[in-house]
Structure 1
Amino acid sequence: MIGRLPLDEQLDAFRAVLCHNAVLVEVLERSAALGLPGWYLTAGCLFQTVWNVVTGRPPGAGIKDYDLFYFDGGDLSWEAEDRAIRRAREVFAGVAAEVEVRNEARVHLWYEEKFGVPCPPYESTEAAIDSFAATTCCLGVRLEEGGRWRVYAPHGLSDVFNLVLRPNPVLAPRAVYETKAAHWGTRWPGLTVLAWPDGGSA
């Protein structure tokens, strides 16, 4: 099983599996051309590609959108983020996917209204990825100079390959985790969903 391989081999396997998703690779390449500061392709498009491949499904099956995070703390206005979104719309024209572009430096401005709990300002894109409702989802990939892949995976890759969903009670409410878990469990029946811990901080 890939999830039992040494970490360097898991990284190689992770990249190889993601490359099965031609849309994801195209989005990565076009994202690099945008040059957004601190950017990562992140969240569902990554772990869902892995889950699809290891369960014998088409690599891009059911992936709703491709999340592109970046971090620009120099201008927290909606107008600046909207300019980045509009520019990305031009860059991703013709791609067979919806690409969601978000400045993670602005998340604390709207998070509480949407999710009911306050979000301290993030200091980086990595910090934003760290706060996902499940540790299994805490992944980011970007292309750097020379085509080198930078992979951010603070909790490793074993759970991703082993289809284990592990809660991350640092910010998102319990209900967010359980709603996502129920949804993903119907799509990947082999998914092992670990329970939200009693007394979790969120």
Structure 2
Amino acid sequence: MTNAERTPDWDRLGDPYASTEEERLAALVAILQAIPHVIDILAAVRDLKLPDAWLVSGGIYQTVWNVMTGRPVLHGIKDFDIIYFDGSDLSYEAEDTVIKRVNRALPDLANLLEVRNQARVHLWYEQRFGRPYRPLDCAMDSLTTYAARTHAVAACINEDGTLKPYAPFGLANLFGMRLVPNYVQPNEKTYVEKADRMKELWPELTVLPWTG
């Protein structure tokens, strides 16, 4: 039995008053450590020594939901988002070089990887989404702009081999399977589209409406 399977009482972890954030962080670490392809991604990112690099969003929270609901660990996962922050070269060519390096390091997962330099998102965001996007200060700054607070979760492996999670809005909503809007950006369309897809894949999910 894996550490993830031994994690008790999902309902308690999803209740912000019945458990602590430290318990939720420990549960997240136990789940991720039990999933070989997640560890392979995290280890490769560390070994490539990309600046301020993390695995973020769906590859983490959807993995957790699959473990919680007993589904195959890749159920519903379209991609694994790897972000890093390198302000020294904002060209697409530099980013593309990093993308190719990551793909070579993880050939069996290359078709599921999406690698993006967060230092250059503001250069293409408005053309793609029709609204401006401020320059970010670091990779984790991007998590505060996600359409759902629930999605704002990241992990990396430190040089000493320990797994480091990060969730600026906490993890109660993730373990509670609640999709909660984040109003920092006018992302209602994105939020609704993602919510519809996720509700179909994980019917247990509670979706809070966008009211901002």
The TM-score range, normalised by the shorter chain, is over 0.9
| Aligned amino acid, residue 49 of structure 2 | G
Alignment pair present for 1:2 and 2:13 = yes
**Distance change >3 Å, CA 96–CA 21, structure 1 → 2:** farther
- Which secondary structure does the structure 2 equivalent of 1:120 belong to? coil
Matches within 5 A, 1:19-58: 19-58=33-72
> Displacement of 1:19 after TM fit?
2.6
**Counterpart pick for 1:141 among 149, 155, 163:** 155
**Distance change >3 Å, CA 33–CA 8, structure 1 → 2:** same
> Displacement of 1:173 after TM fit?
2.1
CA contact (8 A) 1:131 1:172 kept: no
> Displacement of 1:87 after TM fit?
1.2
How far apart are the structure 2 equivalents of 1:96 and 1:21? 17
How far apart are the structure 2 equivalents of 1:140 and 1:191? 20
Matches within 5 A, 1:11-160: 11-95=25-109, 98-160=112-174
Unpaired segments of 5 or more residues in structure 1? none
- 1:83-142 per-residue CA deviation (whole Å, 9 max, x = no partner) reads 111111211123376211100001001111111111011111011111110000001100
User: What is the alpha-carbon root mean square deviation over aligned residues?
Assistant: 1.3
- 1:3-35 per-residue CA deviation (whole Å, 9 max, x = no partner) reads 232221111111112233221111111111111
How far apart are the structure 2 equivalents of 1:189 and 1:124? 34
Unpaired segments of 5 or more residues in structure 2? 1-11
- Which secondary structure does the structure 2 equivalent of 1:101 belong to? strand
- 1:42-76 per-residue CA deviation (whole Å, 9 max, x = no partner) reads 01000001111111112222211111000001111
Alignment pair present for 1:161 and 2:175 = yes
| Aligned amino acid, residue 113 of structure 1 | Q
Q: Which residue of 2 aligns with 1:176?
A: 190
Identity across the alignment (%): 42
How far apart are the structure 2 equivalents of 1:95 and 1:128? 24
> Displacement of 1:152 after TM fit?
1.2
How far apart are the structure 2 equivalents of 1:53 and 1:146? 26
State TM-score, norm by structure 2: 0.89
How far apart are the structure 2 equivalents of 1:157 and 1:14? 9
CA contact (8 A) 2:154 2:167 kept: yes
